[in-house]
Amino acid sequence: MRRAARIVSVALITAGLVILADVAATLIWKEPLSAVYAQVRQSQAAGELDAVSDEFLADPDVAGLASADATVAQRARRLADLFERRLAGGEPIGRIRIPAIDADYVVIQGTEEADLELGPGHYPDTAIPGQGRTVAIAGHRTTYGAPFNRIDRVDVGDPIALEMPYGRFTYEVTSTRIVDPADTGIVRDIGRERLVLTSCHPLYSAAQRYAVFADLKRIDLAPPRA
């Protein structure tokens, strides 16, 4: 009996160590297996995004809109509307950069699980940069590269850039909030352009959502390509 009890104790201790090791690995390496997968897919998506950008900027219609006699905001909206027609689920649409947490990822169209395995995903029912409405992006915190792993360290005043084939849009964080997963109101339109980032909260739980809100501060349109 003592030997059996000792074997069970060793097994339980071993299982506990394995679980702790897995948690530690996830904290340090952002869940190793899915992180490697995400890194490979992000590299592929970056190449695809370059091709999408080249093709879009070479379009004669884009060249006409980019050089039109209008304000930067007006040209940005026209370019965004034109680009929106080309969007397809699971495809790269731009790049997000968050210097405060060293985040630099290709953004994928869609927020289905398969989309988020590739990188941060754009909520398809929200606007894209330049359209003057709410732009919303979701991302994992612990798996598949964990692009938003440290989203809770983003502070008010921090810049966030979204680089689209037609231009770079710089936002400034105005607030953060912890909300219920069912609270879809956080991505509603409010009459001006803003960026909303969302991710599960706390770590290893989907009980809540951590949301970052940022207002558009600058637009730098990309020059058309011949």
Within this chain, do residues 69 and 113 fall inside the same structural domain, yes or no?
yes
Beta-strand runs (E) in 39-145? 92-98, 103-109, 121-122, 134-138
Within this chain, do residues 56 and 160 fall inside the same structural domain, yes or no?
yes
Known catalytic residue: 201? Answer: no
Within this chain, do residues 2 and 41 fall inside the same structural domain, yes or no?
no
Marked catalytic residue, from 62, 200, 212, 221: 200
Residue 47 lies in a domain: yes
Marked catalytic residue, from 30, 140, 194, 201: 140
Please give the pLDDT value at position 3: 52
Residue 200 lies in a domain: yes
Please give the pLDDT value at position 12: 45
Within this chain, do residues 205 and 134 fall inside the same structural domain, yes or no?
yes
Within this chain, do residues 22 and 122 fall inside the same structural domain, yes or no?
no
Residues in the chain, pLDDT under 70: 1-34, 66-67, 226
Can you read off the two tokens belonging to residue 182? Answer: 């069912």
> Which neighbouring-strand residues pair with 215?
172, 194
Please give the pLDDT value at position 62: 87
Please give the pLDDT value at position 69: 78
Tell me the residue range of the domain where 7 lies: 1-30
Residue 122 lies in a domain: yes
Q: State the amino acid at position 34 in one-letter form.
A: S
Residue 175 lies in a domain: yes
> Sign of the CA dihedral 75, 81, 83, 84?
positive
In terms of Cβ atoms closer than 10 Å to its own Cβ (0-12, 13-18, 19+), residue 205 is exposed
Within this chain, do residues 117 and 23 fall inside the same structural domain, yes or no?
no
Within this chain, do residues 127 and 190 fall inside the same structural domain, yes or no?
yes
Please give the pLDDT value at position 21: 45
Within this chain, do residues 9 and 95 fall inside the same structural domain, yes or no?
no
Within this chain, do residues 101 and 145 fall inside the same structural domain, yes or no?
yes
Please give the pLDDT value at position 60: 87
Within this chain, do residues 24 and 54 fall inside the same structural domain, yes or no?
no
Residue 86 lies in a domain: yes
Domain total in the chain: 2
CATH label of the domain that carries residue 110: 2.40.260.10
pTM: 0.84
Please give the pLDDT value at position 226: 60
Q: Whole-angstrom Cα distance, residue 143 to residue 34? A: 6
Buried b (16+ CB within 10 A) or exposed e, 137-158: bbbbbbbbbbbbbebbebeeeb
Residue 131 lies in a domain: yes
Q: Hunting for tokens 């732009």 — which residue is that?
A: 135
Torsions phi, psi for 17 (to 5 deg)? -65, -40
pLDDT single digits (tens) 9-58: 544 454 444 444 444 444 444 566 667 777 898 999 999 999 999 999 99
Q: Hunting for tokens 């001006």 — which residue is that?
A: 192
Within this chain, do residues 1 and 99 fall inside the same structural domain, yes or no?
no
Residue 106 lies in a domain: yes
Under a CB-based contact definition with an 8 Å cutoff, are residues 16 and 24 in contact?
no
Residue 226 lies in a domain: no
Please give the pLDDT value at position 13: 52
Within this chain, do residues 23 and 57 fall inside the same structural domain, yes or no?
no
Please give the pLDDT value at position 212: 99
> Sign of the CA dihedral 188, 190, 191, 195?
negative
Q: Whole-angstrom Cα distance, residue 212 to residue 209? A: 10
